[in-house]
Amino acid sequence: MVSAEAKERMRAVAAQYPTLRSAVLPALYIAQDEEGYMTEAAFEAVADALRLNVDEVKSVATFYTMFFKEQPGKRVIKVCTSISCYLRGCDQLVEHLEGRLGIKRGETTPDGRFTLLTAECLASCGTAPVLQVNNEFVEQLTQERVDALLDALNQELDNEATGRPAQPAPATSEKSQSEPAGTKRH
């Protein structure tokens, strides 16, 4: 159930737009953050907050791939498949991830730890191939770096499950030589 506070945040965001309909995407993000994915309650909350009907909200949410239709894994891995990443072996990395995780792209592991997706472009062509774990970039990938990342993510999830303090994760991003020093990733 989407909280009254979340609905109020949706209304506050909507007040920044010329029409309520313009706030559908940010309101959907608020609802998904609260529910974990786009539940019927999430659709209804957005519709209520923006004075739209549920079908209007669903038509927007189902068009975009960033809104989950079912509960995703705790760590969502999105592998870029743009031309730069393709030329640097993203297809082999996706196959490797599928083998390691025991799932195909678009699926979630049975234990709910990982969802594997592909994305058309993650805007990091200079550091291809690249993926995101939730919203964190991991660049200049190799199969060995992917294996190390999965091991670190599994350890992180084990620590979360047992309440142990998180261990510092290994560096996930290396600057490309073509990228100026001090460049920040957004």
* Whether 82 and 56 share a structural domain: no
* Contacting residues for 21 by C-beta, under 8 A, at least 6 apart: 50, 52, 56
- Domain-terminating residue out of 37, 61, 85: 61
Token pair 């909507």 is at which residue? 14
Residue 123 belongs to a domain: yes
Residues 87 and 114 in one domain: yes
What CATH number is associated with residue 130? 3.40.30.10
Amino acid 90: pLDDT: 95
Q: What are the tens digits of pLDDT across the range 30-56?
A: 999 999 999 999 999 999 999 999 999
CA angle (144 as vertex; 172, 103 as ends), nearest 5: 90
Domain membership of residue 186 (yes or no) is no
Q: Are residues 54 and 100 in the same domain?
A: no
79 lies in the same domain as 56 = no
Q: How far is CA 19 from CA 16, 43, 52, in A?
A: 9, 18, 11
**pLDDT score of 77 more than 70:** yes
Do 81 and 158 lie in one domain? The reply is yes
Q: Is residue 171 part of a domain?
A: no
Counting residues of the chain whose pLDDT is more than 90, the rounded percentage is 81
Residues 81, 49 share a domain: no
Q: Average per-residue pLDDT in the chain?
A: 89
Residues 83 and 139 in one domain: yes
HSE, side-chain direction, 13 A CA sphere, residue 98: 12
Domain finish residue from 61, 88, 106: 61
* Claim to verify: residue 47 and residue 89 sit in the same structural domain: no
**Looking at the structure, do residues 41 and 80 belong to the same domain, yes or no?**
no
Please compute the mean of the pLDDT values over residues 147-152 and round it to a whole number: 97
- Find the domain containing 13 and state its range: 4-61
At which of 61, 88, 104 does a domain end?
A: 61
Clarify whether residues 138 and 80 are in a common domain.
Answer: yes
pLDDT score at 64? 87
DSSP-assigned states of every residue in 31-78: HHHHHSS--HHHHHHHHHHHT--HHHHHHHHTT-TTS-SSPPPSEEEE
Is 182 among the domain residues?
no
Q: How many domains does the chain have?
A: 2
Query: Do residues 31 and 90 both lie within one domain?
Result: no
Residue 164 has pLDDT above 50, yes or no: yes
